[in-house]
Amino acid sequence: MITLDLRRLRFLREFEERGTLGAVATALGYSPSAVSQQLTVLEKEVGTPLLERAGRGVRLTDAGRLLAQHARVLLAAAEAATSDLASLGDQVRGTVRAGGVQSAARHLLVPSLARMAAEHPLVRMEVSELELEQALPGLRLGSVDLVISDEYDGHPRPRPAGMRFEPLLSERLLIVLPAGHPLAVPDGPVALADLRDMVWVSSDETTGHHAMIVGNCRTLGGYEPDVRHHSNDADVQLAVVRHAAAVALLPLLNLPAEDPTLAYRQVAETDLGRRLFTVTRDGPLSPALTTFLSVVADQAADLTAGPERAGPTEPTGPGPASAGGAV
């Protein structure tokens, strides 16, 4: 009789998703040799090879792929059982592993931690700054429960199967200029077409934020922007604007309410926006995750309606979700 160990099945499922022993080791916090050892033990338990050599690495055998498919079902059933057991008590308990882009982590996830600690002390919270692309393997496998991601008008993100996307917050994008720049005076919208001679700062070239800036300068301004500076940290982008006379295009959540060194201007050609949305796995949610999602939604509503939000203008409120960036 074959006895299957769920922990070792997770190693196999991770390998099916990530493709290399090194990637599995990084995701699970083990060394590659430890991952290899666990999969070797699993092979002995089932009595058939699950991996085979492929060049300098390894790949799943037919038996390995078959068992990985069953592992997906078994691990999902174990997660559902854990969730059902957690719902039996009179207090919410469990673990929630959440991540988000920088502005979402700063203004939504982190403030929600205090309320969770006060109201639901038996819930263990783990928060990280994560891009959706980084988090998707973990979301699929259950090592991440929730990601708050973003997307920009005209640059929709893919919607992978097996994921639930729910709108959370909509906000405007503003042009950010040095306060003394001629285009910052008078106080009115600025055309992207008038910024063709400016040096730009954006997030990394692989991000949707960079693609959004380049795409809008091309379509609305009719030019290729001179994007010389890159940072996934919005505060660094603002510093570049202050000290290097560059221009940025950032969401409201990234902008301090008052800064005499900076000028915020609407885009003249059109009203550009960004959407924040939550991403979770399809299927039943644990009580702890359901509770945390409610807390995050309340925090988003406070940002929409309250004067205490960080940016210079109100977000436009929850809206339908339109690729995202690092800020």
Tell me what pLDDT residue 81 has: 74
- Distance (Å, whole) CA 39 – CA 64: 10
In a domain, 61, yes or no: yes
In a domain, 193, yes or no: no
Residues of the domain holding 62: 6-86
Tell me what pLDDT residue 308 has: 40
pLDDT digits (tens, 9 = 90+) for 229-275: 999 999 999 999 999 999 999 999 999 988 999 999 999 999 999 99
In a domain, 53, yes or no: yes
pTM for the model: 0.73
In a domain, 227, yes or no: no
Tell me what pLDDT residue 221 has: 95
Tell me what pLDDT residue 321 has: 39
> For the chain (length 327 residues), average pLDDT per consecutive 10?
81 86 81 87 90 88 91 80 68 90 93 94 93 83 90 86 92 95 88 97 92 96 97 95 97 92 95 95 89 96 64 49 58
In a domain, 50, yes or no: yes
Which residues face 163 on adjacent strands? 281
Number of domains observed in the structure of the chain: 1
Handedness of CA 210, 213, 217, 219 (dihedral sign): positive
**How buried is 93 (Cβ within 10 angstroms: 0-12 exposed, 13-18 middle, 19+ buried)?**
middle
Which residues, at least 6 apart from 288, have a Cβ–Cβ distance to it below 8 Å? Answer: 86, 92, 93, 94, 95, 96, 120, 123
Domain of 58: which CATH number? 1.10.10.10
Beta-strand relationship, 94-100 and 146-152 = parallel
Nearest to 17 by CA among 84, 85, 68, 90: 68
Tell me what pLDDT residue 320 has: 39
User: To 5 degrees, how large is the angle CA 186–CA 174–CA 227?
Assistant: 100
CB 201 within 8 A of CB 262: no
In a domain, 16, yes or no: yes
Residue with tokens 């058939």: 48
Tell me what pLDDT residue 143 has: 83
In a domain, 74, yes or no: yes
Tell me what pLDDT residue 325 has: 61
